[in-house]
C-alpha cells in the first residue's frame, strides 16, 4: 500500500502530494493529519523555502470519501444514528479543518497546483493554500452546498467576497479554471499542458527569497484576513456542516443514497430535480 500523502524535498522546494489516485485522492480519516504532518515537516526544515501541494492521478482531490456501507470503524464525518451528538461531530470536523488550515498557518508559502478537479472537501484544501493555480479545464466547486455540506474552512468568502461566494454556495455549481481565475478565486488558470511549468516557475522564483522575508510577508497578509473573524466564521461553518448531514433534508439524502447508490443520488441533487420532502426525483415533463 502506498503512502496516502507523499513528501519530497527538492532543493529549496517541498513537494507534498495527495496520493490516493485509485479513489481520486478522496479524504479519509487519516489524510488530514497526514497532510498537516507533511506541512510541519517542511516548516521545520531550514533549507526549504516553498511548499508545492498537488494531487496524484486524474485530479487534485474529489472531496471526502463517502462509504455508507462501512460498519467497522465508520468514518468520523458520516451521519450518526439519531439522536445526534453535535459536539461529537464538531470535534472530528474541527480537527480536519485545523489540519487543512496548517497550509494557511505555515510560515512558508504554499502553492497549490490543481488539475482535473478540486471538489467539496478538496476545494477546502486548495483554498487554504496561499496561491492556487489551476489548469483551464480543471473544475472547482462545493456541490454539497446544495444539501449535505457546508465548507468548514469558509475560504470562499475570504477569497472572493460575499456576492461571488454566494453565487457559488447558493447554487453548488462547479466552475472551471478560467472562471475561477476571472472571479479572483485563484491566482490564474493556464492551459493544461502548461500547468507544471507555471507552478515550477513561481515556486523557483519564491525560493530565491530568504525564508524570514517570506514568513513576514505572509504573516502580515494573513493577519489582515484573520482580523475579520476567520476563526469564528470557521467555527460556525463547522457546526453548520454537521447540521446539514443531520437535517431532515440531509437524512433524506442519505436514505436516497442507500436506496439508489451514491452516483444516482448525487446526480439528482446536483441537477436540482429532487423533492426533499419525499426524497424522490421530481417527474420530468418530457
**What is the predicted pLDDT for the residue at 105?**
98
Provide the CATH number for the domain around residue 189: 3.90.226.10
pLDDT digits (tens, 9 = 90+) for 21-36: 999 999 999 999 999 9
**What is the predicted pLDDT for the residue at 1?**
40
pLDDT above 80: residue 58: yes
pLDDT above 80: residue 286: no
User: Considering its fold, how many domains does the chain have in total?
Assistant: 1
Phi and psi for 261 in degrees, rounded to 5?
A: 100, 155
pLDDT digits (tens, 9 = 90+) for 118-165: 999 999 999 999 999 999 999 999 999 999 999 999 999 999 999 999
**What is the predicted pLDDT for the residue at 272?**
82
**Closest by Cα among 145, 143, 169, 172 to 157:** 169
Identify whether 206 is part of a domain. Answer: yes
pLDDT above 60: residue 71: no
Domain coverage including residue 185: 5-246
Identify whether 11 is part of a domain. Answer: yes
pLDDT digits (tens, 9 = 90+) for 32-52: 999 999 999 999 999 999 999
Identify whether 242 is part of a domain. Answer: yes
Rounded to whole angstroms, the Cα distance separating 89 from 97 reads 12
Identify whether 52 is part of a domain. Answer: yes
**Closest by Cα among 127, 130, 110, 109 to 118:** 127
Amino acid at each position: 500500500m502506498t503512502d496516502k500523502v507523499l513528501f519530497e524535498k527538492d532543493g529549496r522546494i517541498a513537494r507534498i502530494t495527495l496520493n490516493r489516485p485509485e479513489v481520486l485522492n478522496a479524504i479519509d480519516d487519516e489524510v488530514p493529519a497526514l497532510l498537516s504532518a507533511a506541512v510541519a515537516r517542511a516548516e521545520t526544515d531550514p533549507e526549504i523555502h516553498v511548499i508545492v501541494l498537488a494531487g496524484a492521478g486524474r485530479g487534485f482531490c474529489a472531496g471526502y470519501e463517502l462509504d455508507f456501507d462501512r460498519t467497522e470503524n465508520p468514518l468520523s464525518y458520516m451521519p450518526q444514528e439519531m439522536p445526534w451528538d453535535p459536539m461529537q461531530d464538531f470535534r472530528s470536523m474541527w480537527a480536519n479543518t485545523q489540519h487543512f488550515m496548517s497550509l494557511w498557518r505555515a510560515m512558508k508559502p504554499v502553492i497549490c497546483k490543481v488539475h482535473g478537479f478540486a471538489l467539496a472537501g478538496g476545494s477546502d484544501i486548495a483554498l487554504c493554500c496561499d496561491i492556487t493555480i489551476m489548469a483551464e479545464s480543471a473544475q472547482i466547486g462545493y456541490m454539497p452546498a446544495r444539501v449535505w455540506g457546508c465548507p468548514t474552512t469558509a475560504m470562499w468568502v475570504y477569497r472572493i467576497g460575499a456576492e461571488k461566494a454566494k453565487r457559488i454556495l447558493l447554487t453548488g455549481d462547479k466552475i472551471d479554471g478560467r472562471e475561477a481565475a476571472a472571479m479572483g478565486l485563484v491566482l490564474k488558470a493556464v492551459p493544461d499542458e502548461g500547468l507544471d511549468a507555471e507552478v515550477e516557475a513561481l515556486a523557483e522564483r519564491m525560493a530565491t527569497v530568504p525564508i524570514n522575508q517570506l514568513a513576514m510577508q505572509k504573516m502580515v497578509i494573513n493577519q489582515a484576513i484573520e482580523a475579520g473573524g476567520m476563526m469564528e466564521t470557521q467555527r460556525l461553518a463547522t457546526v453548520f456542516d454537521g447540521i446539514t448531514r443531520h437535517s431532515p433534508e440531509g437524512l433524506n439524502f442519505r436514505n436516497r443514497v442507500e436506496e439508489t447508490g451514491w452516483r444516482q443520488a448525487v446526480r439528482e441533487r446536483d441537477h436540482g430535480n429532487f423533492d426533499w420532502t419525499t426524497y424522490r426525483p421530481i417527474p420530468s415533463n418530457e
